[in-house]
Amino acid sequence: MLRALLLENLHPQARTILEAAGFEVTTRTGALDEAELVEALKGVNLLGIRSKTHVSEAALAAAPDLMAIGAYCIGTNQIDLQAAASRGVATFNAPFSNTRSVVEVAIAEIIALTRRLTEFDRAMHDGVWNKSATGAHEVRGRTLGIVGYGNIGTQLSVLAENLGMSVVFYDTSEKLSLGNARRADSLDEVLEVADVVTLHVDGRGGNAGLFGAQQFARMRPGAVFLNLSRGFVVDYTALRDAIVSGHLSGAAVDVFPVEPKRKGDPFDSELRGLPNVILTPHTGGSTEEAQEAIGQFVSNKLRDYVATGSTTLSVNLPNLALDRLPGAHRLAYLHRNVPGVLAAVNATLAEHGVNIEGQLLGTRGDIGYVVTDAGAYVDPAVVEALAARPESVRMRLLS
């Protein structure tokens, strides 16, 4: 029986789906450090994590049985994707499942900060009645600046317009504007016109330190800032200075450069205690609806990869999905992307009298992937011959 290890308190659907597919599933509520992960991965075929567990090259090297990793979240920067690919370990994430949850919390925070609800709430809990309109504004008629116009940024754009906001966005890639949103030519252009700036960039290394003192200084006086993307993108000391000086009127932060690994662990930040600042523990996508959808989506991807070899939406392997022919015997062959591999696969099958019913080849960087459906029983000698080739990464006979 194949084994799956699920960490970080994943939704029960993740376990249910894998158990129904015949996996022996072990779950743990917290994240693991590298040494703990190396020990836990012994004999494990599937690994499920969220954002706190880092899967390093060393951990992968110590897990020869590992076939696939599921990131039950959007980000995959916690996984060494290249090292995983080089060992034939497919990686899947959930790029869409929690989009709505993040968008809704962004809208809620934009309204709360613009109305200064956090300060009114704190005063009331302290027993102070401070009825005042000073510094409180409607969001209607104000400008929202979105940095990163992907799945979350685009949906946020549509909802913000429905609230009567104008939207300007900046993205390094070419993106189609939705509704009346206007594309800015530079980040500085967004900062100079926006009343609210919200970050929705991905975890690529080039985004580290994207937002610092220079960017905060360019924002409009009294503007509001949100970061629900990645903690390492923002200099939070600079953000603190902008809040304390009064240049910014408020901020909401959901992600931090260093985050506690387990629920209940202590948390500290230079942003604690600041007025009109909302701090949340990386829960932008943490609704019951989103976590259930993520649990279903990623577990289905892992199950299908093991059963059929499908790599559709894999973030580190060539994306292939070959329709399964009734009675066919499928070979899934991950290999170094070098010339002549397809010819070698077909020649080996021909030598053993195996007819090819269907076949797909795809490449992604240094990795190639050939999925072949054979019309007859495949002798183990075929598998052994292909696995022994110098370019071989992982060879699987699926039926």
CB atoms closer than 10 angstroms to residue 141 = 11
Closest listed residue to residue 204, CA positions, set 150, 142, 166 = 150
Sequential DSSP letters for 253-290: E---SS--SSTT-----TTTT-TTEEE-SS-TT--HHH
b/e map 53-70, b = 16+ CB within 10 Å: bbbeeebbebbeebbbbb
- List of residues 6+ apart from 385 with CB closer than 8 A: 348
Distance CA(201)–CA(19), nearest Å, equals 35
b/e map 192-211, b = 16+ CB within 10 Å: ebbbbbbbbbbbeeebeebb
Residue 282 a catalytic site member: yes
Angle of CA points 284, 68, 394, to nearest 5°: 155
Catalytic position from the list 282, 303, 329, 330: 282
- Give all strands of the β-sheet with 166-170 in edge-to-edge order: 182-183, 166-170, 143-147, 196-199, 223-227, 248-253, 277-279
Closest listed residue to residue 305, CA positions, set 69, 53, 44, 97 = 69
Catalytic position from the list 259, 292, 357, 391: 259
Catalytic position from the list 115, 220, 230, 330: 230
- Ramachandran sector of residue 309 (left: φ over 0; alpha: ψ -120 to 50; beta: rest): left
Residue 54 a catalytic site member: no
Q: Which residue spans within the chain are E strands per DSSP?
A: 3-6, 24-27, 46-49, 68-71, 90-92, 143-147, 166-170, 182-183, 196-199, 223-227, 248-253, 277-279, 329-336, 356-364, 367-374, 392-397
Read off the tokens for 265.
């662990």
- List of residues 6+ apart from 6 with CB closer than 8 A: 14, 15, 18, 25, 26, 27, 28, 47, 48
Residue 270 a catalytic site member: no
Catalytic residues: 230, 259, 282
